[in-house]
Amino acid sequence: MSPTLPLSFLAPLVLLAIAVLAIRHPGRRPGLLPRLSEGAAFGALLLALGGAIQVALNGPAEAALLDGGFLLALRLDAVSATMTLLVSFIGWIVMRYSRTYLDGEAREGAYHGLMLATLAAVLVLVQAGSLVVLLLAFIAVGAGLRRLLLFYGDRAAARRAATKFALVWHGGDLALAMAAALLWVAFGTAGVDELSELAGAGLPPSGQIAVALMVLAATIKAAAFPLHGWLTEVMEAPTPVSALLHAGIINAGGVLLIRFSDLVQQSPGAMAALVMLGGLTALFGAVVMLTQSAIKTALAWSTVAQMGFMLLQCGLGLWALALLHIVAHSLYKAHAFLSSGGAVAAVASIRRPGPVAVPGLGAVARSFALALVLYGAVAAVFAFAAGPKSPQALALGAILIFGVAYLVAQGLADAAPAALTRRTGRASLAVAVAYFSFQLGAGALWGPGLPATPAAGPLEWALIVLAICSFGFVAVAQALFPLWAHHPAAAGLRVHLANGLYLNALLDRLIGGFRAAKTN
């Protein structure tokens, strides 16, 4: 453990200093305050970069106060340094974007203060070294985001979204608090690092219950099915808030699981629950996303699907790949939200394409066979060069290649030009190579600090087969959709899917979301 205090521990303080100034002057502050906010975010990014360099040179570091169940600690290692750098980078981009986006708003100062305070809480969360700090950071993130969702408080939809978010998010906080208490009873410590070491000897009954509650908290905060509805209704907040939420805050559930991966992996039931719930959420979110016409709503459903896939990766024990997924998705989704305003104009300016080549059943079958053959060949090459891969990793790669097979099907359609066929074939090969390359990189960067993927037993094999068959079925159905899209039953199904099978309306009724929209 390095004795040097990591610079990244100071990043939340820099943000909070400017946040206090902004909140004390909530009205419009031309020029000065937006620049100070952007400067504070950039300063936090530089501190995060300095902390990452310190970890690379000196190894993990920790700072702690008190002890026992009230331990207050921050910890920086390869995982937390990565997340700190990611969050601070996205935070800087969002605050820079906000300078123009919020210019002239009546509550511009309040916005900058709340954004900086929420960003500071997220930085504390990803660097938490004890259960107490982790829980307090989760509560602070929820409180800050709720205030941001109410930035346009006169809108009924904004009030409903904020009410729903608060109930769901703080329900996850309650589950996490109970898990923390049980872990203290089971192990007598609140330190994240100590808990990971002690978990190697197995989990007592109270520890098993604690892990179940922790998984519940993580899935709630990752907007997993069926409590996903709040994430699709936060579009009434300013676009930079959506960017920070979908590119940073929503990852908190995954960060929780990865940080306590040693404990979670000791519970086969918890791992199985993550595979099933994550897979269901990924499939449901992806299918509903295809029916959305509004850009930001489609992006929200995309986030639901991506978070489900991340939970699936955690359940398979592919912890380094789950962290890589978080990083990649965060960067992509931040860009997607911040550029969504120009998407309609960009699409409208594109020359209209000609008739779309519709693949038949034979083309779809050939495309999936070709994609899987290319994937198998690439997997064999990487296994020869870098050693065999776990069944979980191979299964995940097969699921990813199903998405490419859909594109290959377009290239193999009878009406498709030869150039398109070649391009889609090259795309399949490139994705397979990229998957194994990134897997090697993620394992080298984060693998030493995370548990190895468990050996696949009967339960794991059953879940692997179920996941492959489920994702394969949906991919084939999507590829064949143009053949039956005009059937009356397809039109009705599309309406139901566009409304998320009405699960969100049921949640509204249960938690009083409709009444929240009517209150002043």
Taking only the tens place, the pLDDT of each residue in 42-67 is: 999 999 999 999 999 999 999 988 77
DSSP-assigned states of every residue in 117-142: HHHHHHHHHHTB-BHHHHHHHHHHHH
pLDDT value at 519 more than 50: no
Q: Which value, in Å, is the radius of gyration of the alpha carbons in the chain?
A: 23
User: Could you tell me the two tokens for 99?
Assistant: 């300078």
pLDDT value at 520 more than 50: no
Helix (H) or strand (E) holding 479: helix 458-484
pLDDT value at 201 more than 60: yes
pLDDT value at 368 more than 50: yes
**Nearest-CA neighbor of 97 among 153, 46, 47, 34?**
34
Predicted local confidence at residue 173, as pLDDT: 95
Distance CA 176, CA 191 (A): 15
How much of the chain, in percent, has pLDDT values that exceed 70?
Answer: 89
Helix (H) or strand (E) holding 446: helix 418-446
Residues 99-128: what's their mean pLDDT?
Answer: 88
User: Could you tell me the two tokens for 28?
Assistant: 């419009």
pLDDT value at 415 more than 80: no
Whole-model pTM: value is 0.90
pLDDT value at 343 more than 70: no
Q: Is 401 exposed, middle or buried (0-12, 13-18, 19+ CB in 10 A)?
A: buried
Taking only the tens place, the pLDDT of each residue in 236-257 is: 778 888 888 877 789 999 999 9
Distance CA 403, CA 471 (A): 9
